[in-house]
Homo-oligomer: A and B are copies of this chain.
Amino acid sequence: MVRRLSTADDGFEATFAALVEAPRAAAENIAAAVSEIVAAVRTGGMTALVDYTKRFDRFDLTAENICVGEEEIAQAESRCDSETLAALDFAAARIRAYHEKQKPEGLRYTDEAGVTLGWRWTPVDAAGLYAPGGRAAYPSSVLMNAIPAKVAGVGRLCLCVPAPDGSMNPLVLAAARRAGVDEIYRIGGAQAIAAMAWGAGPIGPVDVIVGPGNAYVAEAKRQVFGRVGIDSIAGPSEILVVADGANVPDWIAADLLSQSEHDPSSQSILMTDDAGFADQVAAAVEVQLAASPRREIAAAAWRDNGAIILVRSFDEAPALVDRLAPEHLELAVADPEALLEKIRHAGAIFLGRHAPEAVGDYVAGPDHVLPTARAARYASGLSVLDFMKRSSIIGCDPEGLAAIGPAAARLADAEGLPSHAQSIRLRLK
């Protein structure tokens, strides 16, 4: 039985607060183990990669096979069915088009004091992308991580994918080629993150590392942060569906299960103003669960982390939505735009009854790498900005410096920094 909350209940605030604060990802104490791997790769390079790959992936890495060649990628593609490849192409084109629109612009201007000001955006030189291997290999994630880098203008994009027992997912290779990945390496885990951060064997160091992975990969990203930039550390996925009683219960049930089926720690929440509809959805979830090939995972997630929240009116929804700050938010109501106006925190927002979250996972265009665990209060999804940086630009001629220099020198005096003041006053003489 999924938990049911109602804003009309006396204990609602406490129950809701507990739901908001409940940790879903178990903290693993692997910092020391990861630190050892990172240090070993940093000092040992290729030798360490060979050792760890033998141990963790049961694969004999060599200088010849570490890099996945053009021919192997072409062979992998030939094993994929053409309809799926066409869907990948369709997705890649749409993701590229959306991210192109998010490329930031620089600015240059001269202000009323005669000072030249502005900023310039430039891409990082090199980015590294991690993709899980084996059964959890998702070609869509390769597109969603690699395309923003290439749209940003990153010159060198390398991808690390583990090859457990030597096997690689052909669709992952096909996605990497479509996304413009320049180099693919057959390594995984914390050792792959360390190799991209510091360089190892044929792998040159990168400036930014992104992409999902297991707890070792996440901890390794944390540890190399500062040496390189990283995207956020992703937690289990989440969906909050705000739906009125005019929806088809089966559709909403499938939306809820589309997150539950990811992982037992995923969270799916239905918020509705219609108790009868809530019952229908709950029943539909049970029916669909029974038929799902992923029912064990989905049932555990729904039972342990799922919830149905009954509100007296959708006027109560925005404040509750903002406290949950969900990764994915569906507004399956008659006037989604009106509700959207009142909501502030969510990673991606799906409008209307015909916008299931799954279209956002694959083909809509916006990135599917989104803030989890309430990070949507302060963080954004992956974008071209994660692969670019902004330099401020300041130019003065003697007149401009005469206009703004004295105030700066005065503040330098107040802060007790004499050379700061002197660097200005010498030029004002």
Contacts and interface: CB of A to CB of B under 8 A. Distances in A.
A380 B390 contact: yes
Contacts of A352: 395-397
A124 B288 CA distance: 38
A238 interface: no
Q: Which of A250, A365, A375, A414 has the most B CB atoms < 10 Å from its CB? A: A414
Nearest to A294: B418
A359 B400 CA distance: 11
Contacts of A400: 354-355
Nearest to A88: B411
Interface residues of A, number: 124
Interface in A162-188: 171
Given A83-B410, A359-B401, A393 B349 contact: yes
Contacts of A357: 423
Q: Which of A336, A350, A408 has the most B CB atoms < 10 Å from its CB? A: A408
Contact of A390 (B383, B406, B408, B426): B383
A361 B376 CA distance: 32
Given A111-B97, A294-B417, A356 B423 contact: yes
B354 A397 contact: yes
Given A354-B400, A361-B412, A411-B87, A379 B229 contact: yes
B394 A355 contact: yes
A91 interface: yes
B171 A414 contact: yes
A146 interface: no
A254 interface: yes
11 contacts: A84-B414, A101-B109, A140-B415, A254-B422, A257-B423, A288-B422, A294-B418, A340-B393, A356-B401, A358-B409, A371-B389
Interface of A: 83-84, 86-88, 90-91, 94, 97-98, 101-102, 104, 107, 109, 111, 113, 115-117, 119-120, 122, 124-125, 135, 138-140, 171, 207-208, 226, 228-229, 233, 248, 250-251, 254-255, 257-258, 260-262, 288, 292-294, 298, 322, 336, 340, 344-352, 354-367, 370-371, 373, 375-381, 383, 385, 389-398, 400-401, 404-424, 426-427
Given A101-B109, A117-B365, A248-B426, 11 more contacts: A91-B408, A91-B411, A257-B422, A288-B419, A351-B394, A359-B396, A359-B408, A363-B408, A366-B392, A366-B394, A383-B390
> Which A-B residue pairs are the 3 nearest by beta carbons?
A351-B395, A366-B392, A229-B378
